[in-house]
Structure 1
């Protein structure tokens, strides 16, 4: 293992150790003091021989070792350090496209090592990133700057959710005109592209190039939604190299981040891609908002799902079993079902049965005079956000009801036939400001009968389609959060041939989109950015530079993902724009001529030995002090033993001592109060936990007098927990129970005043089973649901509910509290996904939507977070407030 020194010249002080030896041997120790009153008895004793007292040899050797430890520690020894070769300025190149997010912690650590080494050697550094910057400008040209300035600039380097542009990076180098020779250090993403070799050749012109890149088997994966005619949700998984077999897991999650389905497949050696299906019921598939590769957090490992990939569920009301008799071709439901087959999952049955399902659209065929109960049930369903499509016919013409977008005239209108002076009519073009805008109307559609709307002042606003004489053919109107729609004719051959045309399925598709809340004016318009993916595959609010997407068209080429069109959700319809389809070729970068390559994943971090040398020197210094006191007779033997045991106990393996020596992050937690979260291994969940606790820490600093540091991720099996007041533990789907060492640490943490917030993040659906599997062998006390009079409900704010990103799930604490810990519960258990509600970006903007209460619910979630931290820090000092009303009542008497 190579050993290097930051300041090797300090080692020259070791040459002075012989002089120190001589000095320590010459200088006598302090005289031994003996308290004995009858000095006069010794007065006659005299000696003509004098012998100089010398420092004991063992003490001299100990002091020499102490001096050597201080000298070597001051030289700052490093183990396994990879020193940057001396010889002029450095050019540090960082590929910061989407593929760099896969091993970003390792990349970040190596980049920091390079810049720290440059700072030790006082070498100027130029920093070049190869992806287009987020401000939409060109790749910035590198310039030489001091190592401190380069470190500050490198702090802002993060993965972007779009590809690198090495061709633009070549132009940036040409514009910079850096003077060779340089030492080039390249932090590459490991992927090939057409301009990669030209870029490498340009770097070689500046000096020797060393490239750190992941091996082919560890390069980034890419996820793309795959078309499927069977209605299943499928995805294509691609990898850049196929040398080794690999098992990948695909997860489907809803808008709250809860996993709703999961499947795995094995890519055999030689296979670079595979398709994987996620079979699930249509009702469950309608909840899927994103697909992702487990264990990988990048924009390429995420595929957002919009309603083009989710088959909605439509209900057909069939009270009498229509369409199953001898003449199904005369039944409106027959034509509706055939038109819906490629668009949605169709559920056919009685109204009561359909209303118990999660439906987007209900189609009610010709029926007049709805029963009171049916009318009430349907109207309530519509007011909650459903879309009800009524089909006209003789029954509705004879007996119209009130559950219609317009009032109808009694009877109907016959067009054509022996008793009519008019002929069957065609349709007019669709209005531009209504839901059917842009649909082409076939010229062969004919309507021979219709129900007529009562002329009112707003009839034009409610008319979505007309006959050629201007009379309404389709009308619609909002009712509560939903919509009522009426086709004024039949879709079967009795009154029209509308159901036989290709227009009717297109109209149904628009109505299904309307059931998702798409305003009529949005059709055919540019799609403004709503939520965008960052480099780690997280949805964040759009930046000011992001532009609207052009309206989707089969003939138009979609834009390339970049700063102005990042992957994400666009438009009020939340249309998904993913990175995967834009990456045509995913290939690992092979050897590059003249470029030395090292394996990014195999690099070992440098170990700083300086703290160990100084700690050993401190120990010897304390031992020297004890020895001097003992030689001078100022320390009794028993006191020396006690003192030695106390000093040794400071170095023993107890939680606080281990916390001070384990990791840098834990050392920081000792110096400043910090919240902690359990690292799950799922990049997306861990990022959410960190962002949530960071947002909560800033919120507490603004609203209270408590000052918290940045949160810390911990592994209970390895990291000490006692330095943290609160531990947030997100419970993942396949969480493994903690091992014996971790269980002991966790139980000890809870016994000595620590608090753990277990969050199953699923709204209470399948959390109990996951939680039992995780905590089955922990010392979890008996639990009770949090009530309004619990301290947690008023430790800072007065709260009646404790929501997170979701709401409604109960929150549990220890029943009665822990008497040995001020009656404070060591656990808080819930399912409301609090970290996602607290999570904010660097600018303080929320990262996740809160449902269903929006900003008001987010504020309640933030207040719960403040109460929770106050409860963990201060205990039950506000418990007496529960009795305050009774006390005031007694004082009145």
Structure 2
């Protein structure tokens, strides 16, 4: 193949025939045109004429140009010209296909698979064997095999490939290839994710030694983005997102999503010119903020575009026991001042007396230095702790005096010793003592201890056999500083010194804030530093950023692992237990999105987003045929063999041929394929919104519903199809599922006309706003508001809630509600008497996210949880889907059955 920019010739040697054109021009000039023949009987008049030399008539220049152009078109057509040609295979060795399938591949996985399919189709046509390799580590540890596969076998493996939620390791693949025996000659294609990293140059060099190497990569603006774990603040979370450098001003949408899939917040993040990182503050009420399970970049489907949220980011209300007004005359001497300053950045602090605090929803109650509590207060506080609360106490002069007098041994995790501060020996010191490193079993493990933090005085614990197990922090001489113990379902924590600088300078350090944060996190059972036990996987992210059940190869998270090395044994996700989850995110390990810049010379670099390959032969052959007919017409005219009237008719025929020949064959073939796929079987269709997450959920949902229809009814639907509302014909589909995405744009006038025509001719559209979980804040969710904008201009009939006796309630199953992923809400149908389509509603509107309830993956597993009814609710969602399809296919036959008794009675008469 010879390439000239976007134009290429599959058989370029044919172009040598263009050298013959000058010879053709000379022949046309030498050879005169055929003489014009006239029938004239008076030939005898010529007998007496004297002969003389005459110059033969020459062919007109415009006719020569016409015939040369005809020959040139034929030669160019035989050279098989291609516009926007696909990469062609060269040589005769195998094709080595390397695919980046790490975390970044999920962003454009469809383009990657399409490119691989095109390359494998060429290998199939040329009978070339294929060696398939991947760059992300596999669960078996090997990057692939050097087995030579048939193109069809390789295609099956490529279709089964999915992106991994961990980074690609090009260096490992390059090292592995160095240790293998490779073919002496091969052509390599590297379908890259476009990111730079270790091993890029090494892998490219190793592949280039085999032969020609072509690297396909996404454009800079199409690279994935990163969502980092947020920072907690007083009134919200500060999220950070990152993009590739070298991009102009741009923006993205960041969503805060609950565990059940509800979108709690959606914020636009703007990148200034030249900036690779941007921040956005998400402010929500405490109740909603504590429901956030993940932050995700909208329309990005990678493990790096998701930041999982665990209890470390929850804002837990903390009660601060205050017997007097908080605004003391000397706040710097008050324990309450230091506690409030330390707790406010990450908790909502509520102050008051014990009885008032116990009436509120609190995670932790902090009790500064105090003596014996009154009986009712002590009993109420004990009940609260036993029911799951965390009580954090601080020692001081008051508690010390109470212990000295032989009282106040309640609501403390360990027995306290009288007069312990002044004992000699190991428990006394002549200078302040420093803190010892935190043990691995302590929730404070991993915190850095400043060298200048010291303790001057403390309340001592009574020695016991289990004192070591109850000690969370100690001084260098082994004296317990923080002790804790379980009390029913709750916990008692005692700091054996003051919360003010009276006995220690700990409250003046950042360590004090970190320790309080760890204690508050324990209020919901989260191990602040993951403890000293490995944490088993609960849910892990897949390559598209979706939470799935962990595989058998996933191992437990080692204790104290601050910088995990992600791979098959340790993917990002949640670890621990259902009650105590620890989020392990990918973005901090990636740090930055750096595009692939430098590659060894001699490597061809192409993009995934290329124009469709156009074969120019039909156009050239059509043009040559038209010129041939035109030449014939002109020749007949010059020889007088064609009357002018017939010539005008021939010219009209040539014009028609030109119009038909220059029509776009590729578009016609594409339309034909779409029509065949939509009409050969009953097909459920969904509207493509442009949001990859929503579109994938729609496809998986209609796939699950199609399988249910096949099992339960006589309907045998084909594979669901996504339709572009702007360009695709809708008449093939009896039912169109339209999920409303907030990012979906408005409709063009052509699309509005297409939809209105579909509704008028018997089609049914199911609008699903998918926001039932978000209603209640302002009278409607964002999906409903977006639907109102999209529907502007559509011929939507008058709607009403589904009546109790509507056919939709009894088409196949008897139903009185229509749940999906969410329950509740109202389903709207067309009011009777609107259209003449057998009284079948042309529009059905709901907010239940039905596709998510029906959705299944390739293995038939359900993709999304349904709330609040679980699997029983999912079964009812499937039944509604069956009723919906049967309603669209059969119309009101169930309603007609109400007349059967009267008809039978008349027949009997």
Choose from 732, 748, 765 the match for 1:739.
Answer: 748
Is the 8 Å Cα contact of residues 335 and 499 (structure 1) preserved in structure 2? no
Is the 8 Å Cα contact of residues 319 and 364 (structure 2) preserved in structure 1? no
Match for residue 848 of structure 1? 864
Is the aligned partner of 1:540 residue 2:552? no
Is the aligned partner of 1:581 residue 2:588? yes
Is the aligned partner of 1:254 residue 2:257? yes
Choose from 218, 225, 238 the match for 2:222.
Answer: 218
CA RMSD of aligned residues (A): 5.0
Choose from 412, 418, 427 the match for 1:423.
Answer: 418
Match for residue 612 of structure 2? 605
Match for residue 278 of structure 1? 281
Is the 8 Å Cα contact of residues 326 and 336 (structure 2) preserved in structure 1? yes
Structure 2 CA distance, aligned partners of 1:76 and 1:801? 62
Structure 1 residues 180 and 344, CA, compared in 2 at 3 Å: closer, same or farther? same
Is the 8 Å Cα contact of residues 455 and 504 (structure 2) preserved in structure 1? no
Larger displacement relative to structure 2 (800-809 or 723-732): 800-809
Is the aligned partner of 1:560 residue 2:538? no
1:878 alignment partner, SS class: helix
Is the aligned partner of 1:873 residue 2:878? no
Match for residue 700 of structure 1? 709
2:206 alignment partner, SS class: helix
Match for residue 196 of structure 1? 200
Is the aligned partner of 1:832 residue 2:848? yes
TM-score, reference length from structure 1: 0.69
Alpha-carbon deviation of 1:792? 2.8
Is the 8 Å Cα contact of residues 314 and 345 (structure 1) preserved in structure 2? yes
Match for residue 722 of structure 1? 731
Choose from 799, 814, 817 the match for 1:783.
Answer: 799
Structure 2 CA distance, aligned partners of 1:772 and 1:875? 27
Is the aligned partner of 1:805 residue 2:818? no
Structure 2 CA distance, aligned partners of 1:345 and 1:789? 51
1:155 alignment partner, SS class: helix
Alpha-carbon deviation of 1:405? 4.9
TM-score, reference length from structure 2: 0.68
Match for residue 39 of structure 2? none
Match for residue 55 of structure 2? none
Structure 1 CA distance, aligned partners of 2:488 and 2:898? 51
Structure 1 residues 394 and 217, CA, compared in 2 at 3 Å: closer, same or farther? same
Structure 1 residues 203 and 772, CA, compared in 2 at 3 Å: closer, same or farther? same
Structure 2 CA distance, aligned partners of 1:94 and 1:850? 36
Structure 2 CA distance, aligned partners of 1:280 and 1:539? 25
Structure 2 CA distance, aligned partners of 1:797 and 1:524? 54
Structure 2 CA distance, aligned partners of 1:329 and 1:204? 70
1:820 alignment partner, SS class: coil
2:836 alignment partner, SS class: helix
Match for residue 263 of structure 1? 268
Match for residue 619 of structure 1? none
Structure 1 CA distance, aligned partners of 2:717 and 2:420? 74
Structure 1 residues 279 and 404, CA, compared in 2 at 3 Å: closer, same or farther? closer
Q: Deviations for 1:774-825, whole angstroms, at most 9, x for unmatched residues?
A: 2122222222223554333333333343333333333222233755223222
Alpha-carbon deviation of 1:139? 0.6
Structure 1 residues 86 and 339, CA, compared in 2 at 3 Å: closer, same or farther? closer
Structure 1 residues 860 and 327, CA, compared in 2 at 3 Å: closer, same or farther? farther
Is the 8 Å Cα contact of residues 261 and 280 (structure 1) preserved in structure 2? no
Choose from 682, 694, 707 the match for 2:691.
Answer: 682
Unaligned ranges ≥5, structure 1: 10-72, 350-363, 450-459, 614-650, 652-657, 888-893
Is the aligned partner of 1:340 residue 2:347? no
Is the aligned partner of 1:526 residue 2:504? no
Q: Number of residues paired by the alignment?
A: 724
Is the 8 Å Cα contact of residues 240 and 280 (structure 2) preserved in structure 1? no
Structure 2 CA distance, aligned partners of 1:486 and 1:886? 79
Bigger Rg, structure 1 or 2? 2
Is the 8 Å Cα contact of residues 300 and 580 (structure 1) preserved in structure 2? yes
Is the 8 Å Cα contact of residues 263 and 774 (structure 2) preserved in structure 1? no
Structure 1 residues 220 and 293, CA, compared in 2 at 3 Å: closer, same or farther? same
Structure 1 CA distance, aligned partners of 2:154 and 2:386? 68
Is the 8 Å Cα contact of residues 526 and 581 (structure 2) preserved in structure 1? no
Choose from 354, 360, 366 the match for 1:366.
Answer: 354
1:848 alignment partner, SS class: coil
Match for residue 70 of structure 1? none
Is the aligned partner of 1:99 residue 2:104? yes
